[in-house]
Structures are given as C-alpha cells and as structure tokens.
Chains A and B, each alone.
Chain A
Amino acid sequence: MSNSRHIVIIGNGISGVTLARHLRKADSNVRITLISGESKYFFSRTALMYIYMGHMKFEHTQPYENWFWEKNRIDLKEGWVKSIDYSSKELLFSDGEDLKYDLLVLAVGSKPNKFGWPGQDLKGVQGLYSKQDLELMEENTQGNVERAVIVGGGLIGIEMAEMLAYRKIPVTFLVREEGFWTNVLPKEESELVGRHIREHHIDLRLSTELDEILSDQNGRVRAIRTNTGEEIQCQFVGLTAGVKPNVDFLKGSDLEVNRGIRVNEFFETNIPEVYAIGDCAEFEQAPAVDRKNIEQVWYTGRMHGETLAQTLSGERTPYRPGHWFNSAKFLDIEYQTYGTVPAVWNQKEVDSFYWEHKNGKICFRMLMDKKGLLLGVNNFGFRLRHEFFDRALSEKWPGAKVIKNLKRANFDPEFFAPYHQLIQDQFLNEYGGDFTVSKSSWTQKLFGAKL
C-alpha cells in the first residue's frame, strides 16, 4: 500500500462515512478526504424529520462527536464538487477551488424525483432529502399554510405527513396506486397502514394523481389539480414520489452513467481508480434475485461502504449482501421485514400465511415456498429478532419451525403482549404442526399486557 495515496470520497452520507471509517481501521497511512457541501459533519438523514418535530436538535443526529474525524485523521472538506477531470485526477469545486486525488469514490446519494409536473418548481413545492431541504421546509411552512398536499405514497411521504401534522397543518396525501406503498407492501399490509394514516386524520387519496400545481401571482403554490380535475387549495406541496441518483453533474463525461453510476460488483466504474457506492450506484447486474440494480436504503449504503473498504485496503471483495432486511415506522406503527416478501407473488410457487390482530394495527406475514420453507416475513406493530431470521433463512428452516420457535424471535420489550401465541394458534389451525402454542411465564400472565 502506497503511504501517500490520497483517497477522496465525495459525499459524507452513510456509505461514504462507513467507507472512510473502515478504510482508516484497515490502513493507518492512507490519506482520506471526505467531501460534503451539505454538512461538514456526518448526520443521520433518516432523523431529519425528528428535528422538524422537536424530538431532537441537529447535533443529536450526528452519530460521531466532532473530534472523531480529526482523531481518526479523516479530513473533512466542505464544498460542492462542480466537475471532475478524470485524466488529471482533479476535482473542481463550485467556489473555484480544486483538489487532487489518487483514488476517487463517488457516494453522492440521491435527490427527490420530479416527473415534470407543471408548477413543480414553484415556491412552496419541494422534496425532502437533504439538510437544505429540511431548512427549506422549515421556511416554507412558517407562514400561513392552511393545507399541505403530499404527492407520492412512500416512506418519505408518510414522514412528511407526520411532520406537518405535528405543526397542525392539515394534509392531503395523494397516492397514485390503489394502496399505500403497494410497490413494496402486499395488499393487507398496505391497507393496515392506510387505515392508520386515516386514523391520524390525514386525508389519504388513493388512485389519485397530480396533474398540475397552480401558482398565485407571486409564484407561490396556491392549489393543485388532480387527474380527476379536483382543485385542492394548498400552500405547501411535498413531492415524495421516490428518489433518483444524484448524478446530473456527472453526466456528459467519460464516466458511464445510466440512471445511476454504472458499477460492477466491486463498485468499479468504467474509469480506473473511480468507484461509486450507495444510492448513486447502479449495478450492471442486480446483487441478488430479490434485489434491485439501484439500492437506496440506509443498510445497503452501509454495506457498500463496508465492502469497498475491503477492496481499497488490499483485499478485493465483491459485494455479496446477505438476506434482505429493512424496517420503517409509519406514524405509530413499526415495520420490519426479513427475507423476501414482495408485494405480489405467484400463488403456484409461494404460500402466504397471514395473521392480523383484531385491532387491525398488528400483523405478521410469512411466505414459504411449496416445500414449506421460509422465504421471508413482514411484521407490523411488534418487533422481531434479526439474528433469528437471518439464521432461519440461512439454514432454510421450514415455516412450521419458524412459528414453533417464534417466541425466541420476539423482540418486543418485556411485559408486552405475546402476539406469537396468537400467530402460533392460527398457524396450527391453518397448517397443523407438531408443536403447541408457547406458554407465558407467571410474571407475564400476572403483569403483562393482554393479547
């Protein structure tokens, strides 16, 4: 390893930061520079909503104290990169500065999708991705906002709805599909979340699309019109129809860019010594059958960084993600998933076991192949153990074995209701099995929450 090698990472999100940390661990000599125009110090993007809602201040979203970077000799450079000269290995910043690199990693993240709606650039219309977006949202919702409209039914949309609800701003939530987040959630789960959204007095409009955003005389949004022709008066519009790789400034150069920056399983781009990780990378081939070519979640960003750090510190390592997992929180309802649970599946190949609590806010789904082996689970309203399902998936457990041992998978706090018992009971009714419903301890029976 050359001692003076200078690795420059553009983007200090979870992928870039993870890469920098692991690189430093593996190699104490390499020079590391982490560039960001968004924020000097790494913060957790997923926590932006909590700042708006007063749960935390910005400093609380920073996972490492400010001295951490100097101590680990990770140079932080604030600035926006305007262009890259790959032949002279030089970055040009928007303020005219430049910076030489020996090896470049692009971890430039995403930006909100805008689908060319008329009026999408009006004042009061915005997405939510960056720290600057949050500051803009703060500004845009200061004045007299009598109603907000959110366009796009995904994770950021529901977060934005929750944020606005905290500020007592009534929200109309337009979702193009027939249910909430139906490109990911099966029908029942989507309906469960939909009910909960309405329980929070959010005006959820399914199968409704945005046609046009209408302006007042000051160039500010005054209303939107839907595809049904309805006009909804509003002073704020959140565009939350997904995100796309933030690669516009990289286009038109030698770097191969499609929707994202094209990379192989080693995160190598078409240019030597230039890599891309995180949201902005587009794999030539999806990393696994149940994965997409562009991975845009926190956990994959982290894994990209972990993996590339191996390669860059001497051990060339292909990206081999393990079993899929993810989580989210929809207002008050937590969601976790382990393994593969698509929104729809072929009933000839896949069996679905679904349990829902009578309160309609807690549910569990397990998909099995026709041999009865576990494919994946969704759980809403209660918590399940990652380690348990990672093992069950690796060891290809039959679904029945998963259910039999479900008590061990429970990750809810002590004294919470033992939902696994109801799940086991229903599974025995539907599928039979050589086990009995788990028993509660006497303390649980005496003090615990009831089912």
Chain B
Amino acid sequence: MNIIQKIGIGLFLIGMTVFIAMPFIGNYTLSEEQVRTATKEIHQEQMTEILAPMYGVEYGSNFAFLSAFNENFSTYNDALKDQGAWDQVIWDDYGFPLAMAALESPVKSQPWIFLGLSIGLCVLGGLFFILPQYRGEPEGIKNNGIYHSSATSRGFIGIATGTFLILFYVLLYWYPAYLANHVWMVNPLSLLLSGNPASQWFLYGFIYTLAIAVMGVRMYRKYRGNKYQILRTSSVIFFQTAFAFLIPEILVLLNQPYFDFKNIWPLDYDFFYSYNLDTLISSGGFGLFMLMWGILLIIIGVPLLTYFYGKRWYCSWVCGCGGLAETVGDPYRQLSDKSLKAWKYERVIIHSVLVLAVVMTALTLVNYFMSFELLGNVTNQLHSFYGFAIGAAFSGVVGTGFYPFMGNRVWCRFGCPLAAYLGLVQRFKSRFRITTNGGQCISCGNCSTYCEMGIDVRWYAQRGQNIVRSSCVGCGVCSAVCPRGVLKLENDNEENRINDMPIIIGNDSIKVNA
C-alpha cells in the first residue's frame, strides 16, 4: 500500500466519522408554527394541542426530542386506540418532519461544508485508495488475499461494515427522524436539482448513486483488460445516475410525475397502486406515456430482451439493485452460499415473493377498478405489509446490509420478484447460456466461488455441460476468473442450449454421459 492509499484510508475514515457523528449534533426546539406547517390540515388542530408541552423547550439531542415527542403523541393516540376510536387515531409519522423543522445545528446552517467533510471526504478517500491499485502490474484479474482479508471473509471489518449498513437501513426506513442532519446536509443539492426540499429518499438516492460511481471506478481498476466487465460497469453507473437519480428529479422540476423509466413491476411493486395510477393518469399525455411505457416493459420488454440476451440485460447492466451489487457488492461476491440446500431455499423463497407480489397487485387492480367496493381498505394493509417486509426489510436491510455476510446478491437471489420473472423466461425461453468449453475444466472452483448468485458453476463445467440457470444474472465473472478459458456467456440458437446428458469431448474410448 503506498502513501496515497494510506492517506485515502485516513480521509475515508474521517469522512465516515463525521457521517456517523452527525445525528448527535445540534439541538431541537419546537414551535407551534412548525407543527402547523409540518402536519396535514386534518391533524393540525390535534397535533398543535398534543405537542403544546414541547413548545419553546430546547432538547439537547434527537433522543430527548423524539422521546418527548413520542411520549406526548403516544399518550394521545394510545388513549384513542384503547377507546377503539380508530377513525380518530393518527397513523401518520410526524416525527421526521418535526425533527427536521425543530433542528438547529451547524449542519443545517452549513450544509455544503458538512457534505464535503462527510460524503466528500469518503469519496475522495475512496478514490485515493482505489486509483493507485494494480499500478504497474500487468493486466489480469487477481483475487489475491480475498480470504486473507478481514473485510471480505466475514472478519471483524466485514462484520462492522455489515452492522453499519444494517443500522443505516433501519434508520432510513423506520427512524428517519434520526437522520434529520443528514437530510439537511443534502437539501441544497435537492433544491438545485428538483426545486424541492430533500427527503430521506433523496439522501439515500444521492449516496447510492455516488457509491455505485466510486466503486465503479474500483471495478475499472480491478477488471481492467476485461471489456465485458468495463462496459457492464459503465452501464450500471449510467443507468443509476441518469435514470434512477437525475431524470426523476428533473421530471419533478418540470412538474411531471417522479418516474424511473428503468424500474419495472414487480420490483417496482407500487407501480399499480392507486395513487401511482391516479398520478400518472392525471398527468396528461406524458403521464399516460409513462404508464404505457411501464406496462410495455412488463409484457414485451422483459420477455423479448430476455429471450435475446438473458436476464443479464436487466440484472447486471441496468437495474439499480444490481448496480449496487455489482459495484459496492463486488468485494463480497464470494460469500454467497453454493450448497444445494441454499438453492432449494432460493427457489421456494423467490417464487413465493413473486406470487405474493402478483396476488397483491391483482387484488389492488380489481379493487381499483371496482372503486374499492370489493375489498375496501384491505389492499392498503396488504401494501403496508409488503412494503415493510419485502420492500424495506428484505430488499434494503437484508439485501444490502447482509453483503458482508451472505454475499452481494441476497435480495436478487432470494427475494426479487422481477428477477424471478426474468429467471423464468431465461430458464425456459431464451438464447442465453454459459457455454462450457469442451473438456477443459479442471474443477478448480474459482467460478463457483466467485458466483454471486451461489450457482455451483463448476458442477456443470466439469461435466462439459452448458449452464442454464434461472438465477444467473450474467455478470460474467465466472468466465473472467476461470484460469483455463472454460466459460463463455453467449446468446445463440435455442437448440442444444440445454443438454442434460452432456458428453465431455476428448475421450474416444467411451460414449457415455458425464
């Protein structure tokens, strides 16, 4: 490690420290005016009354502020619940907007400086560390020391990283009030892009996009000389930056609905929710175009592109979850479970999620077109269950938080309903396969070890069999790490694609199957 890289690590650690310290900065003072602004009209009267004891009191920390808020709020709400006055209970979470309003902190007054000191230093430090890697070494992919490093072999650094990620996701989804400083920090940026104040989702999108870009640079270094990996990395950086981050913000700036053109139902599980349909339908021609675009992607785009190229066209070239997995998650790809048992769990779980998403959406649409006469609010409860269990806990907390424990594709492999759909097409009607090069396999295990989807690639390769698996996202790393040139991702005729009884070339003595 050279001096620049050491400085890089130093900068990164300083940035992380500032980022982690941020929730503990500043104090909170609430006013009636703030409550009035932050609450819905129907709740304004109740809320201003409930929170009256807090007005003018200075709370030294978010813990103190939020516990006071919860105490006042719960006393009121719980009483209503006890009485069974369900129509009067306030279900909205006002903790976050009120914490945002009540906060007084150096971050809120100097957001750019703190942005530079936290995320800025992390990015800079990351690049300092990454750019000099492999300098002066000949081209070639080296997984040197992966299992000797605590970060990438479930050692202490790996556990710490996973814990940090899990904690961040828990705060983001369920306790955003603790991220008030972070959100204020990116507020000017949001104003610049969309003209709207930042939400926790803007913060998340911003960090997410930057992480993909910086770790994308790492991919360029690590896989230099491998054009497939380079192009694929450029593609996920592009789709994340343009389609997931910038275009939706710009659409909002132009008074259009927030829309990610590359997000596809059922991964985009709320696409057919009534509020989304209403928004798109009421947004004129462009909104209708978005609606049609979304539907066409589902019924034509997915099957057609998957037929020609396999599910990789989406999962490892376009998708945002895939983009994060392929860049930030790349150092953890070897941690996926390759056992037959894991494959059995995988099939049950991922297809269950697909069924759940389809049933939920079908009920939602029936309900929508029958003007909520059939099921009333039941679909709402279904939505909150799905949003909590699948949308947040599975795809976010487990999906990313478990990178350092179970590999970088936990969500994509076990949970993503779109991956399940793409996988069904890939397995049964596609030109894509990984071809095994005759009898050249030496069973070394590099392919299986580095398969992020936990496919035991070697099982097929050593029998001279093509790999046709619904879960394969076509990242191409098995092919890249193979020391004998045995694996090639290909789109070719469907004929002979699946060969259950392969014969290994090279032994004329026998004509039996491997």
Interface status of B49 (Cβ within 8 A of chain A): no
**Which residue in A61, A306, A323, A415 is a CB contact (below 8 Å) of B445?**
A61
Across-interface contacts of A50 in B (CB, < 8 A): 143, 444-446
A54 with B144, Cβ < 8 A, contacts A299-B506, A307-B509, A414-B489 known: yes
Interface status of B3 (Cβ within 8 A of chain A): no
A327 with B489, Cβ < 8 A, contacts A307-B507, A413-B226 known: no
Assess the A57–B484 pair: CB atoms within 8 A. Answer: no
Interface status of A432 (Cβ within 8 A of chain B): no
**Which residue in A57, A334, A385 is a CB contact (below 8 Å) of B438?**
A385
- Per the 8 Å Cβ criterion, residues 293-324 of A in contact with B are 298-299, 302-303, 306-307, 310, 317-323
Apart from the given pairs A302-B504, A386-B438, A387-B437, 7 other A-B contacts in the complex at a CB distance below 8 Å:
A50-B446, A54-B147, A302-B439, A321-B507, A322-B508, A336-B440, A414-B490
A334 with B448, Cβ < 8 A, contacts A323-B506, A413-B227 known: no
Assess the B442–A55 pair: CB atoms within 8 A. Answer: no
Task: Kindly name the residue among B145, B435, B439 whose own CB sees the greatest number of chain A CB atoms within 10 A.
Answer: B439
Task: For B143, give the chain A residue with the smallest CB separation.
Answer: A55
Across-interface contacts of A307 in B (CB, < 8 A): 507, 509-510
Q: Work out how many contacts link A and B, with CB atoms closer than 8 A.
A: 166
Interface status of B505 (Cβ within 8 A of chain A): yes
The 0/1 profile, CB within 8 Å of B marked 1, for residues 171-186 of chain A is 0000000000000000
Across-interface contacts of B144 in A (CB, < 8 A): 53-55, 166
**Which residue in A14, A385, A449 is a CB contact (below 8 Å) of B437?**
A385
CA distance A299 to B145 in the complex (A): 29
Across-interface contacts of B263 in A (CB, < 8 A): none
A386 with B443, Cβ < 8 A, contacts A196-B138, A413-B480, A416-B228 known: no
Assess the A447–B231 pair: CB atoms within 8 A. Answer: yes
Assess the B512–A413 pair: CB atoms within 8 A. Answer: no
- Per the 8 Å Cβ criterion, residues 410-442 of B in contact with A are 435, 437-440, 442
CA distance A416 to B223 in the complex (A): 13
B151 smallest CB distance to A (angstroms): 12
A336 with B479, Cβ < 8 A, contacts A166-B144, A303-B509, A307-B507 known: no
Across-interface contacts of B228 in A (CB, < 8 A): 413-416
Assess the B509–A317 pair: CB atoms within 8 A. Answer: yes
Task: For A394, give the chain B residue with the smallest CB separation.
Answer: B508
A331 with B448, Cβ < 8 A, contacts A44-B442, A303-B507 known: no
CA distance A390 to B438 in the complex (A): 9
Interface SS of chain B: helix, strand, loop or mixed?
A: loop
Task: For B226, give the chain A residue with the smallest CB separation.
Answer: A413
Assess the B445–A318 pair: CB atoms within 8 A. Answer: no
Across-interface contacts of B140 in A (CB, < 8 A): 331-332
CA distance A60 to B445 in the complex (A): 6
Interface status of A47 (Cβ within 8 A of chain B): yes
The 0/1 profile, CB within 8 Å of B marked 1, for residues 409-431 of chain A is 00111111100000000000000
Assess the B444–A44 pair: CB atoms within 8 A. Answer: yes
**Which residue in A63, A320, A322, A449 is a CB contact (below 8 Å) of B462?**
A63
CA distance A398 to B236 in the complex (A): 45
B226 smallest CB distance to A (angstroms): 7
Assess the A321–B506 pair: CB atoms within 8 A. Answer: yes
Assess the A327–B485 pair: CB atoms within 8 A. Answer: yes
A-B contact pairs, 21 of them (CB 8 A): A47-B442, A50-B143, A50-B445, A55-B449, A61-B445, A63-B462, A65-B340, A200-B138, A299-B442, A302-B507, A310-B509, A310-B512, A321-B508, A325-B438, A325-B506, A327-B484, A327-B485, A383-B488, A412-B488, A415-B227, A449-B227
The 0/1 profile, CB within 8 Å of A marked 1, for residues 448-490 of chain B is 1100000000110010000000000000100110011100111
Interface status of A22 (Cβ within 8 A of chain B): yes
Assess the B449–A60 pair: CB atoms within 8 A. Answer: yes
Assess the B439–A317 pair: CB atoms within 8 A. Answer: no
A413 with B438, Cβ < 8 A, contacts A46-B443, A56-B446, A449-B227 known: no
CA distance A205 to B415 in the complex (A): 55
CA distance A347 to B148 in the complex (A): 51
Task: Kindly name the residue among A323, A417, A449 whose own CB sees the greatest number of chain B CB atoms within 10 A.
Answer: A449
- Per the 8 Å Cβ criterion, residues 17-57 of A in contact with B are 22, 44, 46-47, 50, 53-57
Across-interface contacts of A331 in B (CB, < 8 A): 138, 140
Interface status of A194 (Cβ within 8 A of chain B): no
A390 smallest CB distance to B (angstroms): 5
A322 with B437, Cβ < 8 A, contacts A63-B458, A329-B483 known: no
B134 smallest CB distance to A (angstroms): 11
Interface status of B255 (Cβ within 8 A of chain A): no
CA distance A362 to B206 in the complex (A): 43
- Per the 8 Å Cβ criterion, residues 327-385 of B in contact with A are 334, 339-340
Assess the A306–B446 pair: CB atoms within 8 A. Answer: no
Interface status of B157 (Cβ within 8 A of chain A): no
Across-interface contacts of A447 in B (CB, < 8 A): 227, 231
**Which residue in A46, A387, A413 is a CB contact (below 8 Å) of B505?**
A387
Assess the B485–A411 pair: CB atoms within 8 A. Answer: yes
Task: For B340, give the chain A residue with the smallest CB separation.
Answer: A65
Interface status of A112 (Cβ within 8 A of chain B): no
B238 smallest CB distance to A (angstroms): 13
The 0/1 profile, CB within 8 Å of A marked 1, for residues 116-145 of chain B is 000000000000000000000011100111
Task: For B136, give the chain A residue with the smallest CB separation.
Answer: A201
**Which residue in A61, A320, A325, A415 is a CB contact (below 8 Å) of B444?**
A61
Across-interface contacts of A321 in B (CB, < 8 A): 506-509
CA distance A62 to B334 in the complex (A): 15
Interface status of B146 (Cβ within 8 A of chain A): yes
**Which residue in A56, A65, A361, A415 is a CB contact (below 8 Å) of B449?**
A56
Assess the A55–B146 pair: CB atoms within 8 A. Answer: yes
Across-interface contacts of B483 in A (CB, < 8 A): 329, 334
Across-interface contacts of B227 in A (CB, < 8 A): 413, 415-417, 447-449
**Which residue in A61, A319, A329 is a CB contact (below 8 Å) of B509?**
A319
Assess the B145–A383 pair: CB atoms within 8 A. Answer: no
Interface status of B149 (Cβ within 8 A of chain A): yes
A325 with B509, Cβ < 8 A, contacts A55-B449, A414-B489, A449-B227 known: no
Across-interface contacts of B438 in A (CB, < 8 A): 325, 385-387, 390
CA distance A44 to B483 in the complex (A): 13
Interface status of A199 (Cβ within 8 A of chain B): yes
A413 with B509, Cβ < 8 A, contacts A60-B448, A332-B140, A448-B227 known: no
A170 smallest CB distance to B (angstroms): 16
Task: Kindly name the residue among B139, B479, B485, B489 whose own CB sees the greatest number of chain A CB atoms within 10 A.
Answer: B485
Across-interface contacts of B459 in A (CB, < 8 A): 63
Task: For B481, give the chain A residue with the smallest CB separation.
Answer: A55
A320 with B489, Cβ < 8 A, contacts A57-B147, A385-B438, A448-B227 known: no
